[in-house]
Structure 1
Amino acid sequence: MNVKDILKAAKQVAEEKGLTSEVVIDAIESSLAAAYKREYGSRGEVVKAKMDTKTGEIQFWKVKTVVDESTVRIVEDEVAEESGTDFGHRQEEPLEEGVLPRYNPERHILLKDAKKEKKDATLGSEITFPLEAHEDFGRIAAQIAKQTVLQRLRESERESILNEWRGKEGQIVSGLVQRFERGNVYIDFGRAVGVMFSNESIPGEHYRAGERLRFYVLAVQEDTRLPGIILSRSHPKFVNKLFEMEVPEISDGSVEIKAITREPGSRTKVAVASNAPGVDPIGACVGQRGTRVMAVNNELGQEKIDIIEWAEEPERFIANALSPAKVESVEMMPRHEARVFVPEDQLSLAIGRGGQNVRMAARLTGWKIDVRSQTRPEEAQEGGVAVFAEGEADFGGDDEPRPELPETEKPVID
Structure 2
Amino acid sequence: MSREILFVLEYMEKEKGIGRADMISTIANAVKTAAQKGVNSGQELKIEINERNGQMHAWALLKVVDSVSDPKTEIHIERAQALQPGAQLGDIVEQEIDPSTLGRIAAQTARQAVMQRLRQFEKERIYDDFKDQVGNIITGTVRRRERGDLYIDLGKAEAVLRSREQVPGEEYQPDERIRCLLLAIDSTPRGPEIILSRASPKFVRRLFELEVTEIADGTVKIESFAREPGYRTKIAVTSTDPKVDPVGACVGARGARVKTIVRELGGEKVDIIKYYADPREMVLEALKPAVPRDIIIDEASHRILLKVATEDLAVAIGRKGQNARLTSRLIGWRIDIEEFKAQGDDPVQNAIDLLVSTFGLDAVIAAKLVEMGINSPSAFEGVEAGDLIDAGFSAEEAQGIISRVSAAAPQQA
CA contact (8 A) 2:61 2:93 kept: yes
Could you list the runs of 5+ residues in structure 2 that have no partner in the other structure?
63-67, 70-87, 345-413
Aligned with residue 99 of structure 2, among 106, 125, 134: 134
Change (3 A) 1:181 1:117: farther
Matched, 1:285 2:250: yes
Q: How does 1:373-392 map to 2 (within 5 A)?
A: 373-375=339-341
Q: Which amino acid aligns with 2:131?
A: R
Change (3 A) 1:252 1:46: farther
Matched, 1:351 2:317: yes
1:367 maps to what in 2? 333
The CA deviation at 1:149 is 0.4
Change (3 A) 1:154 1:266: same
Matched, 1:339 2:296: no
Q: How does 1:251-330 map to 2 (within 5 A)?
A: 251-330=216-295
2:171 maps to what in 1? 206
The CA deviation at 1:308 is 1.8
Could you list the runs of 5+ residues in structure 1 that have no partner in the other structure?
64-80, 83-114, 119-126, 379-414
1:51 maps to what in 2? 49
The CA deviation at 1:237 is 0.6
Change (3 A) 1:322 1:12: same
Count of residue pairs the alignment pairs up? 321
The CA deviation at 1:283 is 1.4
CA contact (8 A) 2:152 2:159 kept: yes
Kindly provide the CA deviation profile for residues 153-182 of structure 1, in whole angstroms up to 9, marking residues without a partner as x: 221233133212111111111111122223
1:102 maps to what in 2? none
The CA deviation at 1:364 is 1.6
Q: What SS is found at the alignment partner of 1:341?
A: strand
2 CA distance for matches of 1:46 and 1:260?
Answer: 65
CA contact (8 A) 1:27 1:149 kept: yes
CA contact (8 A) 1:58 1:135 kept: no
Structure index of larger Rg: 2
The CA deviation at 1:19 is 2.8
Q: What SS is found at the alignment partner of 2:270?
A: strand
Q: Which amino acid aligns with 2:310?
A: E
Change (3 A) 1:18 1:328: farther
Please report the RMSD computed on the Cα atoms of aligned residues, expressed in angstroms.
3.1
Q: What TM-score do the two structures reach when normalised by structure 2?
A: 0.69
Q: How does 1:10-409 map to 2 (within 5 A)?
A: 10-40=9-39, 49-53=47-51, 54=53, 56-59=55-58, 117=90, 132-135=97-100, 139-225=104-190, 227-333=192-298, 334-375=300-341
CA contact (8 A) 2:135 2:181 kept: yes
2 CA distance for matches of 1:376 and 1:32?
Answer: 90
Q: What SS is found at the alignment partner of 1:335?
A: coil
CA contact (8 A) 1:327 1:341 kept: yes
1 CA distance for matches of 2:5 and 2:268?
Answer: 54
1:73 maps to what in 2? none
Kindly provide the CA deviation profile for residues 331-384 of structure 1, in whole angstroms up to 9, marking residues without a partner as x: 212411111222321111111122111112111211011112333689xxxxxx
1 CA distance for matches of 2:196 and 2:28?
Answer: 37
Q: What TM-score do the two structures reach when normalised by structure 1?
A: 0.69
> Greater helix percent: which structure?
2
CA contact (8 A) 1:33 1:60 kept: no
Q: Which amino acid aligns with 2:20?
A: S
Q: What SS is found at the alignment partner of 1:228?
A: strand
CA contact (8 A) 1:308 1:323 kept: no
2 CA distance for matches of 1:55 and 1:289?
Answer: 66
Kindly provide the CA deviation profile for residues 93-143 of structure 1, in whole angstroms up to 9, marking residues without a partner as x: xxxxxxxxxxxxxxxxxxxxxx9746xxxxxxxx99878543265555433
1 CA distance for matches of 2:14 and 2:236?
Answer: 48
Change (3 A) 1:292 1:328: farther
Kindly provide the CA deviation profile for residues 370-408 of structure 1, in whole angstroms up to 9, marking residues without a partner as x: 112333689xxxxxxxxxxxxxxxxxxxxxxxxxxxxxx
CA contact (8 A) 1:176 1:209 kept: yes
2 CA distance for matches of 1:137 and 1:303?
Answer: 67
Q: What SS is found at the alignment partner of 1:135?
A: helix
Q: What SS is found at the alignment partner of 1:265?
A: coil
1 CA distance for matches of 2:102 and 2:171?
Answer: 54
Of 51-60 and 255-264, deviating more is: 51-60
Q: Which amino acid aligns with 1:187?
A: I
2 CA distance for matches of 1:368 and 1:241?
Answer: 27
CA contact (8 A) 1:11 1:24 kept: no
The CA deviation at 1:233 is 1.0
The CA deviation at 1:324 is 4.5
1 CA distance for matches of 2:215 and 2:147?
Answer: 38
Query: Relative contact order: is structure 1 or structure 2 higher (C-alpha 8 Å, sep ≥ 6)?
Result: 1
Change (3 A) 1:198 1:42: farther
